[in-house]
Amino acid sequence: MTIPLVGLKAAHRELQEELEGAALEVLRSGWYVLGPQVRAFEEEFAAWLGLPAAAGVASGTDALLLALLAGNIGPGDEVITTSHTAVATVAAIQLTGALPVLADIRPDTFTLDPDQVAAALSPRTRAIVAVHLYGQMAEMDPLLALADRHGLAVIEDCAQAHGASHQGRLAGTLGDSAAFSFYPTKNLGAAGDGGLVASGRPERIEQVRLLRQYGWRQRYVSELAGLNSRLDELQAALLRVKLRRLDAWNRQRQELAARYHERLAGTSVTTPVVAPGNQHVWHLYVVRSPQRDALQAHLARHGIETAIHYPVPVHRQPAYRHLSPAAGLPITERTAAEILSLPIHPHMSPDDIDRVADCIRQFDK
């Protein structure tokens, strides 16, 4: 039997009665956009983070875009981030009219290297987008210190880090604002697109709420030029059901990752590094192999789904080659050639982990 990379059908089976009941409630209500389900989810998610406010939006990309726009980032500004990320991170910066500036990553955790961020600063730098990658937080302490010295905003890209923490501080609670994605494969996933902006500054969330719907505070009266980026009632209702399971699901991911660590010891792959003080929530379990492509093909022949996050760094993609730094991004490029995401999700069994590990050991022979 195939071991899938993610377990969307299994997650639905676990919560089928609750999810379908929540969906039916919305359908019968006749209120489908920015209604009571969205307000309740915003309050519950903000409370889960320990923040005063949050605003649901249409996608994780829009969450980043609106977080930046609410921070007055726009044309003439530069925003530093990583090339080793989903292209959405860079696309959102560019959509504001600002220039994305790409810095290299750490070779162990694959998150932004604060020293490389410092080297990329210019008089036009206005913000840093710190991507919490694969379920692990970026090095926020040095990034926040750097931002404080230079008067920069810090936006947390939490698309892959629902519940991750550093020294007990949750991802999304340290920067000026944070962007979350609820794409179906995320640790907290909807049945379609969805996103959210959270902040410890209620005025920032009020600005996001204006921007997400044409700048309206009063219907049909635009106080400022905004967008159409609204989280719908159906997605909010489903996310409310799943939010109650998120902490337990993250613990299951952690148990599975620990078994991977144990079973993959002594194999040809390099297992993930967790930075000191970090609580990883294992959105992805990403190993490194100098024979990545051959290993991926071997696993596929044995019914094990894998993926590469991400095979082509943003600065090497046709639409964004103009962003490539003159000195290149050597660690990013080397990483992209070797990484492989193995299956991990809360509905895997320990036997599934053992089967993946045994298949890798077989490849090593």
> 181-233 pLDDT, tens per residue?
999 999 999 999 999 999 999 999 999 999 999 999 999 999 999 999 999 99
What domain range includes position 279?
246-364
Residue 342 lies in a domain: yes
CATH for 297: 3.90.1150.10
44/145 same-domain check = yes
254/135 same-domain check = no
How many of the other CB atoms lie within 10 Å of CB of 252? 16
Domain boundary residue, one of 212, 243, 274: 243
pTM of the model: 0.97
CA distance 100 to 128: 10
48/164 same-domain check = yes
Write the secondary structure of the chain as one string of H (helix), E (strand) and C (coil).
Answer: CCECCCCHHHHHHHCHHHHHHHHHHHHHHCCCECCHHHHHHHHHHHHHHCCCEEEEECCHHHHHHHHHHHCCCCCCCEEEEECCCCHHHHHHHHHCCCEEEEECECCCCCCECHHHHHHCCCCCEEEEEEECCCCCCCCHHHHHHHHHHHCCEEEEECCCCCCCEECCEECCCCCCEEEEECCCCCCCCCCCCCEEEEECCHHHHHHHHHHCECCEEECCEECCCCCECCCEHHHHHHHHHHHCCHHHHHHHHHHHHHHHHHHHCCCCCECCCCCCCEECCCCCEEEECCCHHHHHHHHHHCCECCECCCCCCHHHCHHHHHHCCCCCCHHHHHHHCCEEEECCCCCCCHHHHHHHHHHHHHHHC
CATH for 144: 3.40.640.10
And the tokens for 206? Answer: 């009020």
Residue 129 lies in a domain: yes
163/89 same-domain check = yes
Residue 186 lies in a domain: yes
Pick the closest to residue 87 from 316, 337, 335, 328 (CA basis).
316
Domain boundary residue, one of 212, 228, 243: 243
167/265 same-domain check = no
Residue 2 lies in a domain: no
196/274 same-domain check = no
Residue 331 lies in a domain: yes
Residue 1 lies in a domain: no
Residue 95 lies in a domain: yes
Number of domain units in the chain: 2
212/336 same-domain check = no
CA 242, 243, 245, 251 dihedral sign is: positive
What was the pLDDT predicted at 1?
A: 86
210/253 same-domain check = no
> 19-72 pLDDT, tens per residue?
999 999 999 999 999 999 999 999 999 999 999 999 999 999 999 999 999 999
Pick the closest to residue 156 from 47, 64, 277 (CA basis).
64
84/99 same-domain check = yes
* Largest Cα–Cα separation, the chain: 68
344/254 same-domain check = yes
Regions of the chain with pLDDT less than 50: none
Q: How far is CA 136 from CA 38, 40, 170, 243, in A?
A: 27, 27, 11, 19
Domain boundary residue, one of 243, 263, 278: 243
Residue 193 lies in a domain: yes
147/38 same-domain check = yes
141/77 same-domain check = yes
